[in-house]
Amino acid sequence: MTSSAITANGLRKSYGDKTVLDGIDLAVPEGTVFSLLGPNGAGKTTAVKILSTLVTPDAGDIRVGGHDLASAPQAVRGAIGVTGQFSAVDGLITGEENMLLMADLHHLPRPEGRRVAAELLERFDLTEAAGKPASTYSGGMKRRLDIAMTLVGDPRIIFLDEPTTGLDPRSRHTMWQIIRALVTDGVTVFLTTQYLEEADELADRIAVLHDGRIAAEGTAEELKRLVPGGHVRLRFTDPTAYRDATAALPHSAGDDNTLTLQIPSDGSQRDLRTILDRLDDAGIEADELTVHTPDLDDVFFALTATTAPAAVPAQTDATKETVR
């Protein structure tokens, strides 16, 4: 069984009267990408700062990398890397010097530091720019340097706070490749992002933070099933088959011009089986069947509207039933 890289139970944090995190539970299995999503000001950065020991929580049991955050913050710091909004890159010195500084901070012997720095600069396509001041780097290069610096200490858990904000699409895709490669190496990634597409692309599990609580948590697919709008579309070339299917599927909406039927569905296996059984029973063969689920944008807006639905634990098959 995979063990947890990060667990938090009852995590709370207020600033004055403002409750930012109001009893949050999180569990991030090792070697996975967990994404925390939320509107601006939802508390994502606060959560990252707490889990990475930069801010003290008001309450909560937190374990990171197998260490208790309250009693062993130094051990937690040794197990993690943090990059993001509070970048560690010094613009006045070169990329290579930034890397060597990091190697010194990790007390690597000089030759070892040089080797690790050169290797990481190469891996992140920064060898050519290594001798130039980091202030001359593009946004994408700075982010790559930032991650490369984080990896000098070989952390097994990395917090990425909005790692692609402000990057162009190409740099964003490069960053996604970097993140996937980290996970392939067994690193656990805790990612905050304002791009739902990014969470959809990368995250094994996603938690939506709203009003200080986790409004919903699950895989991207599980979350998409939470909001209405999903349907199955059947396309026919034979008008008779189309008409028969319309009769066999009473809740369908048909388009007589394109011979297409749309049936409301959550896209689940059980739902699909019901539809296919009805078609089989009536001896009807569709020429094309497609399943349409709402995208993560729909989920995000539905969940972060003023009245959010209750938290939905979507961890097991049994609880998936409640998702529908």
Ligand X SMILES: Nc1ncnc2c1ncn2[C@@H]1O[C@H](COP(=O)(O)OP(=O)(O)OP(=O)(O)O)[C@@H](O)[C@H]1O
Q: Which is nearer to ligand X, 56 or 319 (CB)?
A: 56
Query: CA of 216: how far to CAs of 24, 219, 298, 317, 321, in Å?
Result: 11, 10, 13, 16, 14
Identify whether the C-beta of residue 218 lies closer than 8 Å to the C-beta of residue 184: no
Q: Which is nearer to ligand X, 15 or 301 (CB)?
A: 15
Q: Enumerate residues 6+ apart whose C-beta is below 8 A from 271.
A: 232, 265
Q: Does position 208 bind ligand X by CB under 6 A?
A: no
Residue 181: CB minimum distance to ligand X, A = 26
Residue 46: CB minimum distance to ligand X, A = 3
Query: CA of 188: how far to CAs of 47, 79, 88, 147, 253, in Å?
Result: 16, 11, 20, 14, 45
Residue 11: CB minimum distance to ligand X, A = 12
Q: Does position 15 bind ligand X by CB under 6 A?
A: yes
Q: Which stretch binds ligand X (CB under 6 A): 14-22, 75-83, 88-96, 130-138?
A: 14-22
Task: List the one residue out of 322, 320, 301, 318 whose CA is nearest residue 310.
Answer: 322
What burial letters (b/e) apply to 34-67, b meaning 16+ CB within 10 Å?
A: bbbbbeeebbbbbbbbbbbbeeebeebebbbbbb
Q: Which is nearer to ligand X, 41 or 239 (CB)?
A: 41
Calculate ∠ Cα 161-51-297, nearest 5°. 40
Here's the x/- map for ligand X, 174-203, by CB under 6 A: it reads as --------------------x---------
Residue 14: CB minimum distance to ligand X, A = 9
Q: Does position 86 bind ligand X by CB under 6 A?
A: no
Q: Which is nearer to ligand X, 40 or 306 (CB)?
A: 40
Identify whether the C-beta of residue 39 lies closer than 8 Å to the C-beta of residue 193: no
Here's the x/- map for ligand X, 27-66, by CB under 6 A: it reads as -----------x-xxxxxxx--------------------
Among all chains, which residue has been given the structure tokens 């197990």?
79
Q: Which is nearer to ligand X, 105 or 301 (CB)?
A: 301
Member of 20, 102, 207, 214 binding ligand X (CB under 6 A):
20
Residue 15: CB minimum distance to ligand X, A = 3
Q: Which stretch binds ligand X (CB under 6 A): 12-20, 72-80, 226-234, 247-255?
A: 12-20
How many residues bind ligand X (CB under 6 A)? The answer is 12
Q: Enumerate residues 6+ apart whose C-beta is below 8 A from 182.
A: 158, 189
Query: CA of 156: how far to CAs of 7, 66, 104, 187, in Å?
Result: 15, 11, 19, 5
Q: Which residues bind ligand X (CB under 6 A)?
A: 15, 18, 20, 38, 40-46, 194
